[in-house]
């Protein structure tokens, strides 16, 4: 799963918009517009990860994989 697919999984989980995804949705929507591999997206992934602490496998079977993708993306730093 790549970062754009992971973000789409979050957006597709509309059932949890009012609970565990409540504050993440706007950050995720913004991230979908950012360039893959950019510093901007890396930082955005950190924000999203911080918010997704209560989004669990019980709510979405792909949540663990999505979080792993976000962690991976948040560690990629663009070289100057």
Quick: pLDDT tens for 13-46.
999 998 889 999 999 999 999 999 899 999 999 9
Q: Give me the percent of the chain exceeding a pLDDT of 70.
A: 95
Q: State yes or no: pLDDT of 7 exceeds 70.
A: yes
Q: What average pLDDT does range 67-72 have in this prediction?
A: 96
Q: How far is CA 21 from the centre of its chain?
A: 10
User: If pLDDT is split at 50, 70 and 90, which confidence band does 5 have?
Assistant: very high
Q: State yes or no: pLDDT of 78 exceeds 70.
A: no
**Would you state the structure tokens that stand for residue 78, as one six-digit string?**
């663009």
pTM for the model: 0.89
């Amino acid at each position: 799963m790549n970062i754009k697919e992971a973000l789409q999984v979050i957006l597709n989980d509309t059932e949890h918009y009012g609970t565990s995804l409540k504050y993440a949705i706007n950050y995720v929507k913004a991230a979908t517009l950012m360039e893959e591999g950019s510093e901007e997206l890396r930082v955005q992934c950190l924000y999203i990860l911080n918010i997704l602490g209560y989004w669990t496998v019980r709510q979405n079977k792909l949540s663990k994989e999505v979080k792993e993708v976000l962690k991976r993306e948040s560690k990629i730093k663009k070289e100057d």
